């Protein structure tokens, strides 16, 4: 594939879409040529912010364009399935925001559609592309802490508002939103699948929500590794950054701690709240740059559609455990 890879973005409903669009404008090997959104005001705002002239209120029309090589799907979770299948059938490679769907049936449809069409399907697990967490993968591969015994993780954040509290569009609350990132990292690090899930959740901070805002998940992997995930919207709205991704990895010969978004400068101006000025790895840029390489070299994405499907299964098992108040066996 010569020249720039030409992208379309399907929806700016997800907050990450704005960062992905920024990356596409910054990467020399990429070009953002068209965007779709079903919200006219949001579509107008995105078009102006990123100087995109070709805008669409029908994503099928965008997908018909022969000059678009790939799309980034960042709509509400429940809308991913129809858009991903349409993208595959149009021959477009795709990055799909996590969680990739709200049901396993939809996730399987998406994975199968991409496979049938022969297009690349990358799940937007940006933490596989963060310099800190990618370095940990290398440390573990070298066996520096021996065999992994336990991985404990947190993925806290502010409540995103918007549609994230709508169970029909989001598929759940903080458990749906924040389980998949660290569940995926644990699968990546252990090269193993989860066999048991136990979870609890609550509306402990925002009782006006119809979905949970706190959750704790315990995992047991097939080879015996124990994992935990604190997946909560526990940060106040005034918190200076969106949240955290923290991991503690206990091995037979050592212990690793990684706090991925800690590199920052505290900045306070008169009359303004505290700001954290982040200066660490740009994992969004790393992810999209690697996706372009994967397409051009005909390789498999570091985080595939199947990886997205497996992380979703862990999340859905957590919801089943919460509902039934018992340990849930995988696969579902």
pLDDT digits (tens, 9 = 90+) for 154-173: 999 999 999 999 999 999 99
- β-strand pairing of 254-259 with 214-221: unpaired
What rounded mean pLDDT belongs to the chain? 96
End-to-end CA, the chain: 40
Cβ atoms < 10 Å from Cβ of 40: 10
Residue 193 scores a pLDDT above 90 = yes
What's the average model confidence in pLDDT over 277-301? 96
The pLDDT of residue 40 is 98
Q: Are 75 and 95 in contact (CB under 8 A)?
A: no
Does pLDDT of 59 surpass 90?
Answer: yes
∠ at Cα 39 (66, 91), nearest 5°? 20
**Which phi-psi region, left, alpha or beta, contains residue 315 (left: φ > 0; alpha: ψ -120 to 50)?**
alpha
| Beta bridge mates, 247 | 153, 258
CB 218 within 8 A of CB 227: yes
What's residue 162's pLDDT?
A: 93
Residues 6+ away with beta carbon under 8 Å from 317? 194, 197, 199, 328, 330, 332
**211 vs 289: CA distance, rounded Å:** 35
User: What is the predicted pLDDT for the residue at 272?
Assistant: 87
Per-residue pLDDT band at 299 (split at 50, 70, 90): very high
Q: pLDDT-based confidence at 1, cuts 50/70/90?
A: low
Is the CB of residue 125 less than 8 Å from the CB of residue 98? yes
Phi, psi angles (nearest 5°) of residue 142 = -80, -5
Sequence-distant (≥ 6) Cβ neighbours of residue 79 within 8 angstroms = 11, 13, 169
Could you count the other beta carbons within 10 Å of the beta carbon of residue 44? 12
Question: Per-residue DSSP letters for 224-251?
Answer: S-EEEEE----B-TT-SSSB--EEEEEE
User: How do residues 123-145 score in pLDDT, each as one tens digit?
Assistant: 999 999 999 999 999 999 999 99
Structural domains of the chain ordered from first start? 5-119 (3.40.50.720), 127-281+312-329 (3.30.360.10)
pLDDT for 140 equals: 98
What's the mean pLDDT in 46-64? 98
β-pairing verdict for 148-154 and 226-230? parallel
State pLDDT tens for residues 229-272. 999 999 998 888 888 999 999 999 999 999 999 888 989 899 98
- The per-residue pLDDT for 86 is 98
């Amino acid at each position: 594939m010569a020249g720039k890879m030409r992208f379309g973005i399907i929806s700016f409903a997800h907050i990450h879409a704005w960062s992905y669009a920024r990356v596409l404008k910054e990467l020399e090997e990429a070009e953002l040529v068209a965007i779709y959104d079903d919200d006219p005001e949001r579509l107008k705002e995105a078009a102006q912010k990123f100087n995109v002239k070709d805008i669409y209120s029908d994503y099928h029309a965008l997908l018909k364009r022969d000059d678009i090589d790939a799309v980034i799907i960042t709509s509400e979770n429940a809308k991913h399935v129809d858009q991903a299948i349409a993208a595959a059938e149009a021959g477009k490679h795709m990055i799909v925001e996590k969680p990739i769907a709200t049901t396993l049936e939809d996730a399987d449809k998406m994975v199968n559609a991409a496979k049938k069409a022969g297009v690349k399907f990358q799940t937007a697990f940006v933490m596989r592309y963060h310099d800190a967490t990618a370095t940990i993968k290398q440390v573990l591969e070298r066996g520096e802490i021996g065999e992994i015994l336990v991985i404990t993780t947190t993925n806290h954040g502010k409540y995103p508002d918007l549609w994230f509290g709508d169970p029909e569009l989001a598929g759940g609350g903080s458990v749906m939103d924040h389980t998949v990132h660290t569940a995926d990292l644990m699968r990546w690090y252990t090269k193993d699948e989860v066999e048991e899930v136990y979870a609890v959740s609550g509306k402990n901070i925002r009782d006006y929500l119809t979905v949970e805002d706190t959750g704790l998940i315990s995992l047991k992997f097939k080879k015996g590794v124990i994992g935990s995930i604190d997946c909560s919207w526990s940060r106040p709205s005034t918190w200076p950054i969106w949240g955290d991704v923290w991991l503690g990895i206990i091995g037979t010969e050592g212990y690793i701690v990684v706090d991925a978004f800690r590199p920052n400068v505290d900045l306070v101006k008169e009359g303004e709240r505290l700001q954290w000025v982040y200066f660490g790895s740009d994992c969004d840029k790393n992810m999209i740059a690697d996706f372009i390489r994967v397409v051009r070299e005909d390789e498999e994405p570091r985080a595939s559609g199947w990886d997205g499907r497996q992380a979703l299964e862990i999340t859905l098992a957590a919801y089943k455990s919460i509902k039934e108040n018992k340990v849930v066996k995988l696969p579902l």
